[in-house]
Amino acid sequence: MDMKKLLPVIILIAAGLLSGCAWFKHQPATGATSTTKPAPATTSAIVTPDDSLAAKVVSVNTVGRFVVLNFPEGRMPKPEQHFYLYRAGLKAAEVKIDGAPADTLIVADILTGDAQAGDTVRDQ
């Protein structure tokens, strides 16, 4: 075939391919699929102080079903207040404060479960 006859066909094909590119929108190089919506604003975390009351089990009397709890100085519980004992992150018992504090120590009755020395005590 003669090159002079083939030239108009090549020009038409090239023009069609080049004009076809105008139908597609340019995608950013970052890999994002759309630039119509801005990225959501980052929200800052709200930090609140932990005002829960916590203690440690110092000793356990299994016969009398009571424990001796050691609270931080200046943060003693109210009489009859209920607490939960945790062992390895799992709830092990529920206790109720019974008696007056002596320094940082106070006695609590075991209501449910079992207690061991070293258990963590929390009001939640």
Mean pLDDT taken over the chain: 82
For the chain, how many residues are written?
124
Closest listed residue to residue 83, CA positions, set 48, 118, 110: 110
User: Per-residue pLDDT averaged across 74-100, rounded?
Assistant: 93
Rounding to the nearest 10 degrees, give the CA dihedral for residues 10, 15, 20, 22. 150
Summarize pLDDT for 15-68 with one digit per residue, the tens: 666 666 555 565 666 655 555 666 666 778 888 777 788 999 999 999 999 999
**pLDDT for the residue 47:** 83
Asked: is 54-122 a CATH 1.20.1440.230 domain? The reply is no
